[in-house]
Amino acid sequence: MNLCLHGIIIIFVLFLFHIIAKDIGRYCLMSYSLIIISIFILLLTDKLIYDMSTLLIRL
């Protein structure tokens, strides 16, 4: 369930940045670097949430 939600969020972010890149052609490269950064942030926060939830389950 968590992975599915994570995938939906990534697809939504990619779609959002695709629209931005389409509207502003000059900032296309910048928007794609933002996609990569946002994916890393999502992965990091997801890992942190997962670690916290496993810790709570253990307690």
CA angle 37, 39, 43 (to 5 degrees): 120
CA distance 2 to 50: 9
Looking at residue 48, its pLDDT comes to 73
For the chain, the domains span 2-58
Q: What is the mean pLDDT of each run of 10 residues along the chain (59 residues)?
A: 72 76 64 78 76 74
Say how many CA atoms lie within 13 Å of 58 toward its Cβ: 6
d(CA 24, CA 42): 24
Query: What pLDDT score does 39 carry?
Result: 79
